[in-house]
Structure 1
């Protein structure tokens, strides 16, 4: 599975892979823990939180000793992108999917862009 970022007009869309190592936080415990207590994450990593409907989703960096980029999505559309600082970062937005990435991975991702999860073989 890979996480793909797309931006630009439909007839000239730019595409870039954000991550090829994708993990899902499916359970309540996994969602509560997130990236807490990890020392680092690989450059091609994404932690994906998927929910049934858009609601206010909050992220905190308590016990996360490295910065991350966070992306909030409604459907495939990006609604917010934020760099969160280690230990003290905090942000929220309305979304049905939240993605945590290494700091800098979402540097060119903006609201209105799209982000999709694709199977490895999909094009």
Structure 2
């Protein structure tokens, strides 16, 4: 599975340029209560092409914390594939929340070009 970013950049008032880029080619789904609760806690690092994705059946305000996470990450909250918030979170001291039905955790810097309004898509490799 890979994570695809579709930025929307206004070139002028009548035209929107769309391009896609892969943010991660190694996406792990946190699809159980245990994997969602654990997240990235207790890991010492993650690969540059890695993402941990949390998919939910409904949209509500969702929290992320950095207790027992030993490295900074970029976190992205999305609703129906549209980015709501992007935040750099730091080990042990960060906490953030936003509305989402999808949250993605990436290595710090991986979401530097992602902005609210952009689209994120999880695509199967098959």
The answer to whether TM tops 0.5 is yes
2:73 counterpart (68, 74, 77): 68
2-structure distance, mates of 1:11, 1:95: 25
4+ aligned runs moved over 4 Å, structure 1: none
| Structure 1 unaligned residues grouped into runs of 5+ | none
Residue 75 of structure 1 deviates from its aligned partner by 0.8
Aligned ranges 1:6-25 → 2 under 5 Å: 6-8=6-8, 12-25=17-30
Indicate the RMSD between aligned Cα atoms, in angstroms: 1.3
Distance apart, 1:14 and its partner CA: 1.7
Kindly provide the CA deviation profile for residues 1-30 of structure 1, in whole angstroms up to 9, marking residues without a partner as x: 110000126862021100000001111111
Superposed CA deviations along residues 53-87 of structure 1, whole A, max 9, x for unmatched, are 10110000000010000000101100000000111
Query: Does 1:77 pair with 2:82?
Result: yes
What's the TM-score, normalizing by structure 2?
A: 0.92
Which consecutive residues of structure 2, in runs of 5 or more, have no partner in the other structure?
10-14
Following superposition of structure 1 onto structure 2, how do residues 35-50 of structure 1 map, counting pairs within 5 Å?
Answer: 35-50=40-55
